[in-house]
Structure 1
Amino acid sequence: MKTILVTGGSGWLGSAVVRRLLERGDRVVSADIGINPGLAALARSNDGLINEVADLGEWSQVMRLFDKHPIDAVVHTAAIVGVLQCADIPAKALRVNVEGMVNLLEAMRFHGVKRVIHVSTEETYGDFLSESITEDHVQKPTSIYGLTKLAAEHYGDVYSRDHGLECIHVRTCWVYGPNLPRPRMPQTYVDAALRGERLHHRSGGDLAVDQVYIEDTVTGLLLALDKEEHRFRAYNVATGEAPTLSQVAALVAAEVPGADLQIDAGPYSHGDRIPTARKGALDISRARAELGYEPAFPIGKGIALMVRISREARGN
């Protein structure tokens, strides 16, 4: 039985990683700035889970995690996530996404822990130069979020080269699923549809972007964690397809009869104020060939499941 540290373990993606690791029999140390009620309850019923409160921005707290627990590997999900969120709090984004990464790598170096799976993002690429891009696409981010995650990637690469660590970057793209914790599509589409509210965006419908269901993201992360030897430092983990936002809205409407969703043609801006980078699909050929990754949730299936779970949670 391995002991896996999951940073950001009480977060939306982190808690999904924690649960999947426990299901397969791993021992998990979940570290976050707070403990969500679901994981607190899970720890009471499953002695394979230990919840720890720790701020990755505090060196002493990170070191204490490794002093206290015999960590075998790390899945690093902790971050300030999102273009809008990082733009609003750039100093905190730098502290969490970059300084937190450095503190984690230093603690691993001191304690002889070699492998970390780093959750990265398509935002590190900046503007896509083609409709589908591989991991070798130039990384020229246009957002503060992308800048911080690219810096974290570079730190991981340097520590891998100079200190014998193995930092593997899994680049995701617009991860979605039930209870997405920020007001971004398709969560906003699903919420409006289930509330019977009209949602009309006057622009953004033309944006074509890969969107990956949360469970597929977790699958990709664990495949990277488990691979014995890696020939590559980075993998795209998404679907390999890029539906437009108007197409996604139509999928939601098809699952909720009577839904009034309209996403007009035009460019998309985060929060109606920060233009998005040019997007497209992430080529997942490397993840397929090297990890055996295959997305189980194409966009139609993922949206249908998201609507069903959200409807059941709302009682309608």
Structure 2
Amino acid sequence: MRVLLTGSTGWLGRTLATRLREAGHSVIGLDIAPGPDTQIVGSVADRNVVQQAFASGIDAVIHAAALHKPDIVRYPEQAFTDVNVTGTLNLLQAAKAAGHDRFVFTSTTSLMISQSVRDEAGDAAVWLDEQTGPLAPRNIYGVTKLAAEGLCRIYAHEHGLPCVVLRTGRFFPEDDDTHTAPLGENLKANELLNRRLTVEDAADAHVAALNRAPELGFDLFVLSAATPFHRSEVRELKADAAAVIVRYFPDAADLYAAKGWSLPSSIGRVYDASHAERRLGFRCATGFAQVLDALRESRPLPFTHDPGYTSPALAK
């Protein structure tokens, strides 16, 4: 297929472009920043740019372009509406007009985090899956991504365009701008227990969604590394996460100590990706177990950490 990939210069886009070509697809990249995988430089918010992309003969769309949470301090709220909502609508309208049978939309687990969930004030970890609600996103990023999900649902149910929505957990390579300890690789390793996946797994999930969209019609999936935890453990995870972790991984504390790392003492939320495993047939290849394997065998860690990474669109 000839796949229009929006956000093709970004962290996910560049990995996804490679995965799509490996699967035998042709990739037409669209991004506001130039890059080796981007043939069309422009914004999805511009209907003329979208029409230009479709004029080249497109069979399917993977819509990964967006303004993200770090962009809140750099762009006005209207820009989020223009890119994340109007841009999605422009692509859906064009795909419907072209008679497509698949549309994949990159969403975010961030829209599931209300202020109360973020505060983690309760005595139990919050278990988050596709049934979690009512949703109350805490910023313009989450609000606009939730609105875009709604547009995908409408176009699937009312216009017959199969749409798959992927709510991805964290996969960014840079440091977290909201945490002070632990930092860097230690934090990313910890998050693979409950809220993170690798960019490679995120890309592979999009390819799986592209393949399965016609038979799924519409579906929405939380994407994160498979958690080892069970819903029955939410109070233990909040009170003493390290004890629960060692129950599953007896040598984790020693491996961490040798690295100078710390296990989380408390976990306040867990993303459950089991629906994707059951219905999409996708399970992340990399999780916390693979991190421990790398530590045992003194191999490179199975995820990317790049504290100097800057989004290409913001680097100009």
- Contact between 1:210 and 1:238, CA under 8 Å: does it hold in 2? yes
Q: Write the distance in 2 (CA, Å) between the matches of 1:35 and 1:106.
A: 25
Residues 171-198 of structure 1: per-residue CA shift (max 9 Å, x gap): 111124xx44975779x9338x9xxxxx
Change over 3 Å in CA distance of 1:101–1:231 after alignment to 2: closer
CA RMSD in angstroms comes to 4.0
Is residue 135 of structure 2 the alignment partner of residue 136 of structure 1? Answer: no
Residue-pair matches, total: 272
Q: CA deviation at 1:313?
A: 12
Separation (CA, whole Å) in 2 of partners of 1:287 and 1:264: 26
Quick one: distance in 2 between partners of 1:229 and 1:9? 26
> What percent of counterpart residues are identical?
25
Residue 281 of structure 1 deviates from its aligned partner by 1.9
**Hey, what does 1:46 align to over in structure 2?**
none
Instruction: Give the corresponding residue for 1:287.
Output: 276
2:44 to 44, 52, 56: 56
Determine helix, strand or coil for the equivalent of 1:233: strand
Contact (CA 8 Å) 1:242, 1:281: kept in 2 or not? no
Letter in 2 for 1:284: A
Q: 2:143 matched to which residue of 1?
A: 147
CA distance in 1, matches of 2:178, 2:67: 15
2: distance between equivalents of 1:24 and 1:189? 36
- Give the structure 2 partner of residue 66 of structure 1: 54
Q: Indicate the residue corresponding to 2:9 in structure 1.
A: 10
- Give the TM-score taking structure 2 as reference length: 0.71
Per the alignment, do residues 300 and 131 of structure 1 end up closer, same or farther by CA in structure 2, a change over 3 Å counting? same
CA contact (8 A) 2:84 2:148 kept: yes
SS at match of 1:215: helix
Amino acid at match of 2:21: L
> Structure 2 unaligned runs (5+)?
118-123, 230-236, 246-251, 309-316
Which deviates the most, 229-238 or 4-13? 229-238
Determine the structure 1 residue equivalent to 2:288. 299
Q: 2:162 and 2:68 mapped to 1: Cα distance?
A: 23
- Check whether the contact 2:54–2:94 (CA below 8 A) recurs between aligned residues: yes
Give yes or no for contact 1:62–1:107 (8 Å, CA) kept in 2: yes
Gaps of 5+ in 1: 41-49, 194-198, 200-204, 267-277
Relative to the length of structure 1, the TM-score reads: 0.71
Structure 2 contact 156–217 (Cα < 8 Å) conserved: no
* 302-311 or 15-24, which deviates more: 302-311
Structure 2 residue identity aligned to 1:18: A
State the AA in 1 paired with 2:184.
V
**What is residue 241 of structure 1 aligned with on the other side?**
227
Contact 1:117 1:225 in 2 (8 A): yes
Cα distance in structure 2, aligned partners of 1:131 and 1:300: 22
Cα displacement string for residues 15-54 of structure 1 (whole angstroms, at most 9, x for unaligned residues): 1110101112211111111222xx26xxxxxxxxx72212
Cα drift, residue 297 of structure 1: 0.7
